[in-house]
Amino acid sequence: MASNAIHTTTLTPISWTRKLANHFLTFFATASSIAVVIPLFAIFVYLVIKGIGSINLAFLTQIPKPVGESGGGMANAIVGSAIILAIASLIGIPLGIGAGIYLAEYGYNKLGNAVRFTADVLNGIPSMVVGIAIYGLIVVVQKHFSALAGGVALGVMMIPMVSRTTEEMLLLVPRMIREAAWGLGVTQWKTALSITLRTASAGVITGVMLAFARAAGETAPLLFTAFGNQFWNFNINQPTAALPLQIFAYAISPFDEWHRLAWAGALILILLIVAAVTAVRIVTSRGVMKGGA
Amino acid sequence: MGAAIEVRSLKAFYSGSEALHDVSMDMGANQVTALIGPSGCGKSTFVRTLNRMHETIPGASVTGSVVIGGVDIYADGTPAVEVRRRVGMVFQKPNPFPTMSIYDNVAAGLKLNGFRNRHKLDEIVEKSLRGSALWEEVKDALKKKSGASLSGGQQQRLCIARALAVEPEVLLMDEPCSALDPISTGKIEELIDELKQRFTIVIVTHNMQQAARVAGYTGFFLLGKLIEFDKTEKVFTNPSDKRTEDYITGRFG
């Protein structure tokens, strides 16, 4: 070896304007992310303050009392929402995931583009319009309001949300994972269901739960479909109460007690959505390995 | 047992442009055949035509014939899925199924094709993992650890076990060591030597020394053509084509 001398070079110092810009952008990004959290947190705190006082056993187990009588609850609306959302999920989740699989795995053709375009348009249609359409298609034909019509309206709203997120999540799965399955002689549809969908499951479930939560809070599509009901109803062919409808009806009423019940209903609605989302996450995370890749 | 492969006038296309020009070659049963050549010469495309993986790329197509173990894999009525069951493949980058345990990764090919016998599956998983020299390292965490949690070299041997589990006749390896360290590479090369007892092996490699170490026969590809195909010793010591000589002596590539 000749010389072992270490050569050093002085680097040009960073100018103060660049340092300033760096600090400013870091501050801006941090501040923005805090600003995003504040509204959600504020809404939740406000709901708790306004609603917690009216939540008691009666609220969760009784149906609304007539005007003038105090007390009563939203039990029928909680059950009604559950029935309507179950119907919506039965329609929206399988069709949405099915369409998403088609779009990601087979949909690079005219049909795929048409479906993608339709889904985007459907996603942008005001929910009230969906309600009116289902009113015309189901309520007018059957000549009565029903939980079924409400469930279909919400289900129709879920389809494009679920299908587009499913497609996007499936496209994030690298091609080499699909090829690994094809290389074992696994058919394309089986690969899509058992390998690709499973690999993307965390993201797909997030998309499904977002769509579910949005549907759970919708009021407008239910106005002309489920209609609402002051009494118990377990028949999906009858007008049915739903939490958002009940909250709406109470909130625009002139009575202070009903206003308090509306706040309590809103709080319960949010808590039930959070509970449902958490439960689904816990159940679906079983049996799925978290990889290092 | 391995199956012999006969390739006749094979051409492969990507969206109409020809990537492989009229390749014909015979690979004997239970032989290891190495395919060498510079990047973009068509060796990966060629190996992917042998299990009909090439046609999964949109716009890709193949003409000519490939007969494996007496079956014309491109004949009308031969399902691609059936071909891929008989011709296993190991890819350039290890690609275990990330959400599955080690056990499920190995069992995947059988399970997804409807095989349900638990007891038999246990046996096959162990046999396959022993076959890919991974058993001793993972036997205590078969169902606890994810396939993706293993090291790169272990992942590649897991992928080999996964391919072995469906008991193919041919094993295609598309640069299986290019992402691995020398120790893992050594293990896989030893493995290839054992596996040729049971399978016909076609290995694409960027590494000429690797071809010389593992393969009985070597094919040299250049610009989509098979330039020379002969016993490995002959190709490396006394090539008949000037271009082969230029490549193996490092004049280009």
Q: What's the pLDDT score for residue A1? A: 47
Q: Do A183 and B89 touch (CB under 8 A)?
A: yes
Q: What's the pLDDT score for residue B93? A: 92
Q: Do A291 and B109 touch (CB under 8 A)?
A: no
Residue of B101, B113, B162 with shortest CB distance to A289: B101
Token look-up 């493949």 returns: B89
Whether B57 and chain A come into contact, CB under 8 Å, resolves to no
Q: What's the CA gap between B77 and B215, in Å, rounded?
A: 33
Q: Do B51 and A183 touch (CB under 8 A)?
A: yes
Q: Do A187 and B149 touch (CB under 8 A)?
A: no
Angle at B230 between CA B229 and CA B234, to 5 degrees: 130
The whole-number average pLDDT for the span B69-84 is 93
Convert the pLDDT of each residue in A95-148 to its tens digit: 999 999 999 999 888 999 999 999 999 999 999 999 999 999 999 999 999 999
Positive or negative, the CA dihedral A206, A212, A216, A218 is: positive
Judge whether B204 lies within some domain. yes
Distance from CA of B112 to the nearest CA of A (A): 7
Backbone angles phi, psi at B23, to 5 degrees: -95, 130
- Under 8 Å CB pairs connecting chains A and B tally to 94
What angle, rounded to 10 degrees, do the helices at A75-101 and A256-285 form? 40
Q: What's the pLDDT score for residue A263? A: 94
Asked if residue A6 has pLDDT above 60, the reply is yes
Owning domain of residue B73: 5-95+169-248
Q: What's the CA gap between B89 and B32, in Å, rounded?
A: 14
Asked if residue A72 has pLDDT above 90, the reply is no
Element (H, E) at A60: helix A57-61
Q: Is B130 exposed, middle or buried (0-12, 13-18, 19+ CB in 10 A)?
A: middle
Judge whether B228 lies within some domain. yes
Q: What's the pLDDT score for residue A268? A: 94
Domain count, chain A: 1
Q: What's the CA gap between A75 and B6, in Å, rounded?
A: 73
How does residue B16 score in pLDDT terms, banded at 50, 70 and 90? confident
Owning domain of residue A110: 79-242
Measured CA to CA in angstroms, residue A46 lies from A98, A124, B56 at distances of 39, 30, 55
Please list every residue in chain B whose beta carbon sits closer than 8 Å to the beta carbon of residue A185: 81-86, 109, 113, 166
The whole-number average pLDDT for the span B105-132 is 93
* Helices within chain B (DSSP H only): 43-49, 80-86, 102-112, 118-131, 135-138, 152-165, 182-195, 208-214, 232-237, 242-248
Judge whether B133 lies within some domain. no
Judge whether B234 lies within some domain. yes
Q: What's the pLDDT score for residue A292? A: 42
Quick one: which of A75, A118, A207 has its CA closest to A215?
A207
Distance from CA of B85 to the nearest CA of A (A): 4
Distance from CA of A159 to the nearest CA of B (A): 26
CATH number for the domain including B225? 3.40.50.300
Distance from CA of B169 to the nearest CA of A (A): 12
Convert the pLDDT of each residue in B155-201 to its tens digit: 999 999 999 999 999 999 999 998 888 888 998 899 999 999 999 99
Asked if residue A291 has pLDDT above 70, the reply is no
Asked if residue A293 has pLDDT above 50, the reply is no
Judge whether A52 lies within some domain. no
For chain B, the average pLDDT equals: 93
Judge whether A118 lies within some domain. yes
The length of chain A in residues reads 293
Whether B112 and chain A come into contact, CB under 8 Å, resolves to yes
Judge whether A40 lies within some domain. no
- % chain A with pLDDT above 70: 96
Judge whether B162 lies within some domain. no
Whether B156 and chain A come into contact, CB under 8 Å, resolves to no
Whether B78 and chain A come into contact, CB under 8 Å, resolves to no
DSSP state, residue A254? S
Asked if residue A288 has pLDDT above 80, the reply is no
Task: Produce one character per residue of A142-173: b if its CB has 16 or more CB atoms within 10 Å, e if not.
Answer: eeebbbbbbbbbbbbbbbbbbbbbbbbbbeeb
Residue of B58, B84, B100 with shortest CB distance to A184: B84
Quick one: which of A69, A59, A81 has its CA closest to A261?
A59
Domain count, chain B: 1
Please list every residue in chain A whose beta carbon sits closer than 8 Å to the beta carbon of residue B56: 179, 182
How does residue A289 score in pLDDT terms, banded at 50, 70 and 90? low
Q: Which of B15, B55, B95 to mutate to test the interface with A (most CBs of A within 10 A)?
A: B95
The partner residues of B218 in beta bridges, in order of sequence, read: B34, B230
The whole-number average pLDDT for the span A243-266 is 92
Question: What is this model's ipTM?
Answer: 0.91
Q: What's the pLDDT score for residue A284? A: 81
Asked if residue B4 has pLDDT above 70, the reply is yes
Q: What's the pLDDT score for residue A5? A: 66
Name the residue of chain A whose CA is nearest to B86's CA: A185
Q: What's the CA gap between A19 and A38, in Å, rounded?
A: 29
Judge whether A99 lies within some domain. yes
- The token pair at B51 is 């299990």
Please list every residue in chain B whose beta carbon sits closer than 8 Å to the beta carbon of residue A293: 96, 98, 148
Convert the pLDDT of each residue in A19-34 to its tens digit: 999 999 999 999 999 9
Whether B114 and chain A come into contact, CB under 8 Å, resolves to no
Q: Do B98 and A185 touch (CB under 8 A)?
A: no
CATH number for the domain including A157? 1.10.3720.10
